[in-house]
Structure 1
């Protein structure tokens, strides 16, 4: 039986993944209003304003927890450092997406958060597989996914990037529990 948690919390060695709240909006803007982050995502606009952050928090609060979970990635010393989401889409398995604020790149936070989310997804959400994709011009994201055990499927899809206002080639990956 799948246990539905409306607002789960995932703890890893250095991080806590939790639901974003209204008090996080300013920090989200400070981290996400970066063209180099937004252009590597499908849905994030650039510029990213306080209105965008507030709308994001409201949208997350309204998610169906059986079909989507979005987490603020919070470091024990630095506070919020990024966002990770798992959601059901057109694929047979839920998709995972994430971003980390530029001051925190290269520290392993994305991999650590992803590994925590994988454990949660398999134990609490009862998912046996996750899908992910990264833009072909973002090999660093591919390395994060590989470190977390994702494998390339060989499929490349076009994905519309809101910040780019254009399609980008997305290399698809899968993780099996």
Structure 2
């Protein structure tokens, strides 16, 4: 499909189809599950709307806040960690509360030198670790580990002072969308979450992840790329 047509056609169970204007107003509501699947199958970009709790065309006109569509920059930037981030990186990782639902044990306070060593380790082709940047400042981290057979595992964390700002669902949706565009051979993204971490489970489900498996205290959710 040529996105310049500015509309999509969605098949309905009754056999007929209707057009969906990609430039429609944001206030017209979110796409249906069938419409989202159609967009994913045909390379039409959608974005998660945290206000209406659903997916809308990326190019829709925002008549709610005026900061939603393609003409405006995306709210978060994902970049490699830099040595200049060492102090902030150490401060965020030194929060014991941050480690509550991580698979690793809290190592205790981390020094700027320790953080610098972690940053210098870098990442391999199959293991992407990036800082989440907002308004020029690092606020957390996203990570994607390719596990083979077209599957990658996403994880993320935010510095404690950035909790409660409703950033997480937008970050996960944006990062996964960008990663899948860059890695066409990856068709499945999974996330492993502690069963007590209800907040992260809710974030992932808002971002089109569904329950896949459970192993003791750990729940696996998955998001599948739709074939074109």
Q: Same fold (TM over 0.5)?
A: yes
Distance, in Å, in 2 between the alignment partners of 1:113 and 1:81 is: 11
Partner of 2:155: 97
Larger-gyration structure (1/2)? 2
What displacement does 1:56 show?
2.1
Partner of 2:59: none
- What is the SS of the residue equivalent to 2:107? coil
Question: How has the CA–CA distance of structure 1 residues 83 and 109 changed in structure 2, closer, same or farther, with 3 Å as cutoff?
Answer: same
Gaps spanning 5+ residues in structure 1: where? 1-10, 159-168
| Equivalent of residue 124 in structure 2, options 53, 61, 64 | 64
Question: How has the CA–CA distance of structure 1 residues 97 and 88 changed in structure 2, closer, same or farther, with 3 Å as cutoff?
Answer: same
Question: How has the CA–CA distance of structure 1 residues 52 and 173 changed in structure 2, closer, same or farther, with 3 Å as cutoff?
Answer: farther
Question: How has the CA–CA distance of structure 1 residues 22 and 145 changed in structure 2, closer, same or farther, with 3 Å as cutoff?
Answer: same
| Equivalent of residue 139 in structure 1, options 168, 192, 198 | 198
Gaps spanning 5+ residues in structure 2: where? 1-71
What displacement does 1:84 show?
0.6
Partner of 2:31: none
Question: How has the CA–CA distance of structure 1 residues 41 and 52 changed in structure 2, closer, same or farther, with 3 Å as cutoff?
Answer: farther
Partner of 2:12: none
What displacement does 1:42 show?
2.0
- What is the SS of the residue equivalent to 2:78? strand
Question: How has the CA–CA distance of structure 1 residues 36 and 91 changed in structure 2, closer, same or farther, with 3 Å as cutoff?
Answer: farther
Question: How has the CA–CA distance of structure 1 residues 12 and 46 changed in structure 2, closer, same or farther, with 3 Å as cutoff?
Answer: farther
- Aligned length, in residue pairs: 152
Render the CA deviation track for 1:24-55: whole Å, top value 9, x for unaligned. Answer: 11101111211111122124643141244223
Is 1:17–1:113's contact at 8 Å kept on the other side of the alignment? no
Task: Considering Cα pairs closer than 8 Å and 6+ residues apart, tell me whether 1 or 2 has the greater RCO.
Answer: 1
What displacement does 1:92 show?
5.8
Partner of 2:80: 19
- What is the SS of the residue equivalent to 2:151? coil
Partner of 1:4: none
Distance, in Å, in 2 between the alignment partners of 1:122 and 1:44 is: 30
Distance, in Å, in 1 between the alignment partners of 2:168 and 2:73 is: 12
Is 1:91–1:131's contact at 8 Å kept on the other side of the alignment? no
Runs of 4+ in 1 over 4 A off after TM superposition: none
